[in-house]
Structure 1
Amino acid sequence: MTVLSRPIEILRPEAIEFGSGTVAAIGGWVAARGIRRTLVVADAFNAARIGILGLPGEVAVFGEVKPEPDIPNLGKALALAEAVQPDLVIGFGGGSAMDLAKLVAVLPGSGQSIHDVVGPEKVLGRKVALVQVPTTAGTGSEGGTRALVTDPATQNKLAVQSRFMLADLAVVDPDLTMTVPPAVTAATGVDALAHCAEAFTSRKAHPVIDLYALEGIRLVGRFLARGVADGTDREARAGLALASMYGGFCLGPVNTTAGHAVAYPLGTRHHVAHGLACAVIFPHTLAFNAPAVAEKTALVLQALGLPASSDPATVREATHGWCAGLGIEMRLSRLGVPEGDLGAMATEAHAIRRLLDNNPRELSRDEILAMYRAAF
């Protein structure tokens, strides 16, 4: 139940630049602070275009961010940071690059390992500046305090939350997302949608965050199909970038629920891209939760431009069709997930209590398995 008087803390980057062409603001920001050495953390594609950041001084690049970064991937980035000793770390890419940048900004020289900081507010501090520059519209990581990396030993995601990982500057330039292909645009857009919808229907939902959540859903409903159909549609790209940022605002004080918990094993075990995993699972968890949050579920559908409903079967069918209509492959069997692994995935997902405890309805291991089978 949403309670107006329940305490909530809202943290935002010190400065946010939003809109077409705002990437040009970075060079001046860096120069004004006398920063001499910068380390850019990026995937291979964005590492090849760091010139658009306009950075003065010495610039080093870690350009090996993986789609689902793990501890060894983080270790390589940390080793470069130890060698470079940067004054500034920039995350340049999708959520994976921005998450690694957060950890690269706080761990070197701290005496702390990744395992020391898992959980809320265990990071000791930060000595370098941090700038985040998203090039996809999905995670909203630029505006938040969380970072996720996979532990290969357990195949689980390690979640770190710290106010020290909040960016000094977030630059959300929608023009940077125009190179994103249609399939990735669709999947990352549903990731932003899932952040908003899960926060909106969470046990921890709060009116302060509901404002961002519902508007984020409306933006995805209005602009995602347009952005998929025409990647050069500047208005659509801006709308999706804003939806993604709003989704990121939902993550800190409220966070996600069953949708992300059930989606995570698809990425950690079978390397299904995070946004795609969220899209496949979204109709099933939204429908499951509908009886517990009927009014809000109807509002989610309405915001997407679908007929308002809280009937589970109707919710599942409508949202499944909406996602499939974007060209998203909605069957696990077509995504390389073996049927024999569904039980282990259900056990693993059911253990992600940090998210499932937020869910508006109790979800058993067998109910998760039923979702996987329905999606298979």
Structure 2
Amino acid sequence: MTSLSAPITIVRPEIIEFGVGVAGRLGKWAAGQGFARVLVVSDAFNASRVGILELPGEVTVFSQVKPEPDTDNLDLVLEAADAAQADLIVGFGGGSAMDLAKLASVLSGSAQTLRDVVGAGKVAHRRRAGLAQVPTTSGTGSEAGIRALVTDPLTQAKLAVESIHMLADIAVIDPGLTFTVPAATTAATGVDAMAHCVEAFTNRKAHPMIDLYAIEGVRLVGRYLARAVADGADAEARAGLSLASLYGGFCLGPVNTAGGHALAYPLGTRWHVAHGAANALIFPHVLAFNTPAVTQKTTQVIEALNLKAGADQASVFDATFGFCAGLGIEMRLSALGVPETDLGVMADDAFAIRRLLDNNPRDLGRGDILSIYQAAY
């Protein structure tokens, strides 16, 4: 783990609006900035309630964001941004909408293509459009970060872009927008937020400055996720999850995720399992696998979730598996339509995601990954 004296860089949106009922503050901010042509990047459901943002000027809504967006979906967003000549781009939805908004903000009107900017720090110029992010789920924390992911439909691999130029000018987090999220999605996205925090907390690059947010994010999920699943209109619980998601986003920039996300990605790219559901299914397996390398921190995670477990892998797995299953999350790959014959290919895919596996506190070989998939099957 990183020592307290190690250098770290923390970036945040310049303005963060948080609280039930704050969605309309985006419009007031945008008017004050003089924006006149706005592109909202959204899915079909959230496109129907863009009015709650009270945006000024000429507003164009792109409503075709799909889960686990691919490069074709991004191309459509870029066409819409160019046609609208947008001076403000708003990501309004889950992580998919916010990631596409980030990429559109730096690629629209630029000579660079997506392939030019894949990786870290490859966006050459400041974006010409403003960027605002408004999450409507509590999971990805994408509103706070500088990374965006899209899938290459040919290779079924995630293409990751990281750039300070994709940091939002403003993030508006209104937990009231999450009241309509179904229970199953609430559960899965909540565990995704927790996974961001846990993987950062137990990461090889973990830092005390981020640990503060990470462990508090886990506590918030432990305190509020079951309540929000049981009652979607529980405002306090929804706010707690929105804050946990934001804290998870704070963790992603300077530290990032690790083995859990690496193993979850092939479920989404190959079998279109929702990102939150994939992370929830994998989470207990990887946390238990990592326990020998980060025993003390694993104990802190278990305590933060209000669970009971010893320091051994089996009891850590049983406790966290029970937590996820108790939320109604499907915890078997076979039940999600993943064929057993594909586990080896998925293990190859996951093992190639070095940007995350190299963060894992315990080395995950291809054989280890395959064993986890088989155990989860």
Q: TM-score, normalised by structure 1?
A: 0.99
**Larger deviation, residues 1-10 vs 270-279:** 1-10
Contact 1:270 1:337 in 2 (8 A): yes
Q: Which residue of 2 aligns with 1:133?
A: 134
Q: How does 1:16-95 map to 2 (within 5 A)?
A: 16-95=16-95
Paired position in structure 1 for 2:267: 266
Deviation at 1:208, TM superposition (A): 0.5
Counterpart amino acid of residue 277 in structure 1 = A
3-state SS in 2 of match to 1:23:
coil
Q: TM-score, normalised by structure 2?
A: 0.99
Q: 1-side partners of 2:5 and 2:119: how far apart?
A: 26
Q: For the residues of structure 2 that align with 1:86 and 1:110, how far apart are their CA atoms?
A: 13
Distance in 2 (CA, whole Å) between partners of 1:261 and 1:28 is 40
Secondary structure of 2:343 counterpart: helix
Report what 1:248 is aligned to: 249
Tell me which moved more, 302-311 or 326-335: 302-311
Matches within 5 A, 1:113-128: 113-124=113-124, 125-128=126-129
Partner AA of 2:16 in structure 1: I
Q: Distance in 2 between matches of 1:215 and 1:365?
A: 32
How far the C-alpha of 1:103 sits from its partner, in A, is 0.5
Distance 1:148 1:97 in 2: 11
**Distance in 2 separating the partners of 1:40 and 1:82:** 13
Secondary structure of the structure 2 residue equivalent to 1:366: helix
- Correspondence 1:129-278 to 2 at 5 A: 129-278=130-279
SS of the residue 1:203 aligns to: coil
Moved more, 302-311 or 83-92: 302-311
Conserved 8 A contact 2:30-2:55? yes
Tell me the distance in 1 between the aligned counterparts of 2:287 and 2:245: 19
Indicate conservation of the 8 Å contact 1:41/1:90, yes or no.
yes
Amino acid at match of 1:48: S
Aligned AA (2:18): F
Paired letter, 2:112: Q
Range with greater deviation from structure 2 (215-224 or 24-33): 24-33
- Listed one character per residue, the Cα deviations across residues 20-63 of structure 1 (whole Å, up to 9, x for unaligned) are 11112111101111111000000111011101111111000110
For 1:309 and 1:79, the matched residues in 2 are separated by: 54
Name the amino acid aligned to 2:121. Answer: E
How far apart, in 2, do the equivalents of 1:314 and 1:240 lie? 26
1:316 corresponds to which residue? 317
Give the superposition deviation at 1:118: 0.6
The alpha-carbon deviation at position 309 of structure 1 amounts to 3.0
Q: Which amino acid aligns with 2:93?
A: G
- Matched letter for residue 57 of structure 2: G
**Contact 1:199/1:256 (<8 A) preserved:** yes
Question: Hey, what's the Cα distance between the residues in 1 that align with 2:337 and 2:51?
Answer: 37
- Following the alignment from structure 2 to structure 1, what is the Cα–Cα distance between the partners of residues 116 and 44? 29
> Are 1:343 and 2:344 counterparts?
yes
Structure 1: gaps (5+ residues) = none
Gaps of 5+ in 2: none
Is contact 1:41–1:61 with CA below 8 Å preserved after alignment?
yes
Q: CA RMSD in A?
A: 0.6
Which deviations, in whole Å up to 9, do the C-alpha atoms of 1:88-132 show, x marking residues without a partner? 000000000000000011101111111110111111221111000
Report how many residues are paired: 376
Cα distance in 1 for partners of 2:310, 2:8 equals: 30
CA-CA distance at 1:308 after TM superposition:
4.6
Where does residue 374 of structure 1 map in the other structure?
375
Deviations 1:66-98 (A, max 9, x none): 111000000000011111110100000000000
User: How far apart are residue 5 of structure 1 and its match?
Assistant: 0.8
Deviations 1:280-320 (A, max 9, x none): 00000000000000000000000000125321011111100
- Preserved CA contact (<8 Å) 1:301 1:309: no
Cα separation, 1, equivalents of 2:290 and 2:65 = 35
- Tell me, in whole angstroms, the C-alpha distance in 1 between the residues paired with 2:144 and 2:26: 16
Corresponding residue of 1:2: 2
**Moved beyond 6 Å, runs of 4+:** none
Query: Do the aligned residues in 2 keep the contact of 1:68 with 1:96 (CA within 8 Å)?
Result: yes
- The answer to whether the 8 Å contact 1:216/1:244 transfers is yes
The letter of the residue matching 1:375 is A
Say whether the 8 Å CA contact 1:297–1:309 is kept in structure 2. Answer: no
Q: Secondary structure at the match of 1:149?
A: strand
7-16 vs 118-127, greater mean Cα deviation: 118-127
Q: Is the 8 A contact 1:299 1:308 kept in 2?
A: no
Q: Is the 8 A contact 1:280 1:331 kept in 2?
A: yes
- Between 1:28-37 and 1:218-227, the stretch displaced more is 28-37
Letter in 2 for 1:46: N
Contact 2:191 2:279 in 1 (8 A): yes
Give secondary structure in 1 for the equivalent of 2:55.
coil
